[in-house]
Structure 1
């Protein structure tokens, strides 16, 4: 732009180039611990799963819903996004009235998830025990049955498996580092689907021979290490496998028969 000078010039100075003001550095904020005040409005992506387990009262099936949402944070001065579970829902009326406590526990677990400590809360539920014997639910990495101390513990293990398949936990229920969660969410955006765990390639477990009491020292039973209770015969009702639960032969197949009544 041209400017006409109409008065006498008495001096001059060179205008300095304006220096850009640096942007303030972002403060680190771990997206794993960012508190979410309440469940956001609208639709959340969720996983619905049917859980089947066998206890002293026979085989039971329940349905569980886990909702996820992206959560922003700052790591090393860089904005990142991960996916976190924010809601656990156990529809009421599935089983007996005692499951109102499981429904209430799911509400508390949802609060824990939005507070940033879902991993610890689920791990604590795995420690819940009752006096009705072991509960069989799911398979371990060697395709052997898993046994839990209560129905709540079995459901908590099932939740951990949902979070593992979603990439939020590792196979043992431990928290995945936030940097890895960032990579997995970026993978989701790039490929259009959630990260999937690779097929386990664990070696086959070592077997050892043990002799069941009352067998007269013959017919040893081969038991994979860490596989849980040993078979003690066949169920007279459904011909399924019997295992020892609380010192009593109980149907492993889930018809509910027990020698102790």
Structure 2
């Protein structure tokens, strides 16, 4: 564009470009602790799992549903996304306990999940004890049965294992660092499936240990309890020939078929 000069030129300078406006620095916001006001509308991805355990009342099987959703945050000045559990659901009529207490517990867990402290809440449930003896549920990484202080503790341990297989917790129920959660969610988006635990870390469940054993040949595949570990044995099960331990004052099958001398 032409400019008309109407006065004497006494000097000149080269016009500089205006400095670019710096982008605002994002404040860090841990996606693990971001509060979710309520369960969002619409469909959420969920895991439905059958949990089997043996207690004072014999073998029980219950079903549990855990829903997940992506949650945004800011780490190191960058926007990131992780996956978090946001809802726990326990269908009614599965246990003899009053359903109102089960519903209250699941609602509390859901609130803890949306509030960002579900890891601590589930760990606290594992400390719940009762007066009906130990409850056997699941297997540890060395192939040995897990014993819990109550049905609530057994279900809480099972919830931890669901969250472990989803990549949210480690195998011991500890919180996975947010950086790892970011990487695992990116893996999910790139490969179309969730992160999976390494093969060497997965629980080893021996053959014939999940369902009741019906023959002596299958009983040979049942793991033997090493001497000096776990409850003392008091004989052998007449049903599956597995080892018996004392539970609530009654000899009860350690192998998992649910037989008890007290019925």
- Assess same fold via TM > 0.5: yes
Cα separation, 1, equivalents of 2:200 and 2:229: 17
When normalised by structure 2's length, the TM-score is: 0.83
Residues 92 and 100 of structure 1 are in contact (CA less than 8 Å); yes or no, is this contact kept in structure 2?
no
User: Against the structure 1 CA distance between its residues 251 and 225, is the aligned structure 2 distance closer, same or farther, given a 3 Å change threshold?
Assistant: closer
Cα separation, 1, equivalents of 2:105 and 2:157: 14
User: Against the structure 1 CA distance between its residues 258 and 99, is the aligned structure 2 distance closer, same or farther, given a 3 Å change threshold?
Assistant: farther
Paired position in structure 2 for 1:245: 247
Cα separation, 2, equivalents of 1:236 and 1:190: 53
Residues 56 and 248 of structure 2 are in contact (CA less than 8 Å); yes or no, is this contact kept in structure 1?
no
Cα separation, 1, equivalents of 2:124 and 2:103: 16
Cα separation, 2, equivalents of 1:246 and 1:40: 44
Given the alignment of the two structures, is residue 258 of structure 1 paired with residue 256 of structure 2, yes or no?
no
Given the alignment of the two structures, is residue 43 of structure 1 paired with residue 46 of structure 2, yes or no?
no
Cα offset, 1:13, TM superposition: 6.1
Cα separation, 1, equivalents of 2:120 and 2:228: 25
Cα offset, 1:122, TM superposition: 0.3
Given the alignment of the two structures, is residue 86 of structure 1 paired with residue 86 of structure 2, yes or no?
yes
Paired position in structure 1 for 2:235: 233
Aligned pair count? Answer: 240
Residues 250 and 260 of structure 2 are in contact (CA less than 8 Å); yes or no, is this contact kept in structure 1?
no
Cα offset, 1:99, TM superposition: 3.9
User: Against the structure 1 CA distance between its residues 150 and 65, is the aligned structure 2 distance closer, same or farther, given a 3 Å change threshold?
Assistant: same
Cα offset, 1:223, TM superposition: 4.2
Paired position in structure 1 for 2:186: 186
Paired position in structure 2 for 1:8: 6
Cα offset, 1:251, TM superposition: 3.2
Given the alignment of the two structures, is residue 63 of structure 1 paired with residue 63 of structure 2, yes or no?
yes
When normalised by structure 1's length, the TM-score is: 0.84
What pairs with 1:213-232 in structure 2 (closer than 5 Å)?
Answer: 223-224=225-226, 227-232=229-234
Cα separation, 2, equivalents of 1:93 and 1:238: 30
Cα separation, 1, equivalents of 2:40 and 2:126: 28
Cα separation, 2, equivalents of 1:225 and 1:142: 15
Q: CA RMSD in A?
A: 2.4
Paired position in structure 2 for 1:27: 27
- Give the match's secondary structure for 1:84: strand
Paired position in structure 2 for 1:217: none
